[in-house]
Structure 1
Amino acid sequence: MSGTSVHLPDLTGSTAVVTGANSGLGLETAKVLAGRGARVVLAVRDTDKGERAAAHIFGETEVRPLDLADLASVRGFADAWKGDLALLVNNAGLMAVPESRTADGFETQFGVNHLGHFALTNLLLEHVTGRVVTVSSGLHRAVSGIDFDNPNLEGRYTPYRAYGQSKLANLLFTLELQRRLDEVGSPVLATAAHPGYAATNLQSRSGNHLHDGLLRIGNRILAQSASAGALPTVYAATQDVPGAFFAGPTGLLVNGAPGPSGRSAAARDADAARRLWDLSEEMTATSFPL
């Protein structure tokens, strides 16, 4: 693994799905996995962008359409899947965007970052043989819990409240998924990762030109590269770690080599994790299949 002493295993013969792999962290994750021999499926909303990204990846790739803001698209992707899947990387996401709704009426950040990946995981889980890695954020600490009575934050929406809730949901999802996998004796692991402060186009979609401009300056001055930001995801996907492990950069400025990362008390709440799972099943009409 570039910039660290971590040994990456040979992934020849395995298949990985990386959502949102046409740019940023997803693209860099796909590059590393393909470089170690995995066949990487780029699951992307815009397949033209996906094909252009795949052209820059050394290794075996395939591009398939997936719109996490539309559960019909999620179901279509899963229905078309055949064969084993060693690694599912739930990477795609939105950050601090203006208030909007998905095709199914969910608040968009909660819908894309959490519910879309929740449904995708449940629909693909019977094929998964290795790990489910979900990308969260240190900004899961921005909220004290999930608003179970109003998950779409109607009348309470702010861009960062919605983003923080969705990223907290990623960690609670990972916690409960691992509990369920353990309960049925599955060898599959559920892990999570966050990139620290990494320069990607995630920080340029707020709709506020001043806000986006300041973040672009921060990206140039403070942030680590997208390739460095992807290393915790790769770590969570390939290293000898326990279930529900949360990887992140270990540097003081939220950068540096990947390793174990702390999480908030809210992200360790097993009761909230079960409650979120039940709510997510109801909202997506999908359930744990094992």
Structure 2
Amino acid sequence: MNEAVRDPAQPIIEIENLSISFFTRKGEIPAVMDFSCTVMPGEAMGIVGESGCGKSTVSLGIMRDLSNIGKIVGGRIKFQGRDMGEMSDEELRAIRGNKIAMIYQEPMASLNPAMKIGQQLMEVPLIHDKVSKEEAYNRALEMVRAVKLPDPERMMRSYPHQLSGGQQQRIVIAMALLSKPALLLLDEPTTALDVTVEAGIVELVKGLGEKFGTSMIFVSHNLGLILETCDRITVMYSGEAVETGKIEDVFDRMRHPYTQGLFRSIPLPGADKNSRPLISIPGQ
């Protein structure tokens, strides 16, 4: 990891009463209200909720990547004990992409179509760690192997369009992990993939998290993925965190009606539609 010693008792990230609004011509639109969550070293936190509930906005808020209309209007985010709001632009740049890495929904958004995969991967150690080209190539190749891609040398020589969607997403994960981040943000990383590829990526992320000791925030509307990959879960509804805790605790004692509705809406194999109908959640 980046630091030789990391205090296991200190959270990697603490989000306290975070509120984020978007300021448009129509005025202020609150996207996240009073959101709090803590992620400890090596822990995977799942943020789950429906489309538009503000879960992706939380991860963009951590990255300070809210475009020019989004603003943090309340609360604070502390990374490894330091308030990110008090950091200079230079410090934030050093953290982003290095200590905090993000994987987006659409792999092609993170890849340059005009550059070979190898060059794009090598940029990370060349820029962040100032290593030699040979060392950068070896690290990149090793990471392509770690994300279980066939024929790593050929992958390094390929352009992004020559890879399938699942292979592209694995390259993006490799790129994110090359800087050995303390925190990895995954924003619905399997949305664009089919189910069998999705299962492989989930298995991969889980294994890499354990191997590299990376803390993760996994944003998804897919409860199954969260239950499979995370230690703790935060349920978001309409911009607020309505429930949080260990997966099994939330699973056993669902207090909020939205969480109950979410769990009831998971289709079960072999379930009879009459005895156990799928229940939709009323309201907007």
Q: TM-score, normalised by structure 2?
A: 0.33
| Bigger radius of gyration among the two | 2
Higher share of residues assigned helix? 1
Q: TM-score, normalised by structure 1?
A: 0.33
Higher share of residues assigned strand? 2
